[in-house]
Amino acid sequence: MIIKVLGSGCANCQNLERNTREALAQTGLEATIEKVTDYPAIMRYNIMRTPALVIDEKVVVKGRVPTVAAIAELLTAATS
């Protein structure tokens, strides 16, 4: 599983990355986390609100920071 955190280094982008890492640790899933901070690269996902979370090239979260539990749900949904 490849997870991308989209956002240009804002505080919420760091919160999203931290929550995602925690959710990964909780669920015990294996994934690589990439940070995408370059605007043209971010816009390739056609989002207009940062931060955003992309799991295997699919945008699952944009413009907010979900709780660890909510991200864990998204992660398990993506693997099944």
Partner 1 sequence: MRVLERIPTSTRGQVLALAGAGSAWVGAYWVNGWLWDWVLHDVAGLDPQARLTEALRFFLYDTVKIALLLVGIIFVITVLRSYMSIERTRAMLGGKREGVGNVLAAGLGVITPFCSCSAVPAFIGFVAAGVPIGVTLSFLIASPMVNEIAIGLLLTLFGWKVTAIYVASGVLIAIVAGWVLGRIGAQRWVEPFVFQTTLGGEVIDSTAALTFAERIQMGAEEVVTILRKIWPYLLVGIGLGAVVHGWVPTDFFTSYAGAGNAFGVLVAVAMGIPLYSNAAGIMPLVQTLYDKGLPMGTLLAFMMAVVALSLPEMILLRRVLRPQLLGAYAGVVGVGIVAVGYLFNALLA
Active site residue ranges = 10, 13
Q: What is the DSSP letter of 40?
A: H
Q: With residue 35 as reference, give the H or E element that holds it.
A: strand 32-36
62 binds partner 1 (CB under 8 A): yes
Q: Which is nearer to partner 1, 30 or 42 (CB)?
A: 42
42 binds partner 1 (CB under 8 A): yes
3, 58 contact by CB (below 8 A) = no
Residues that bind partner 1 (CB under 8 A): 8, 10, 12, 39-40, 42-50, 59, 62-65, 67, 69
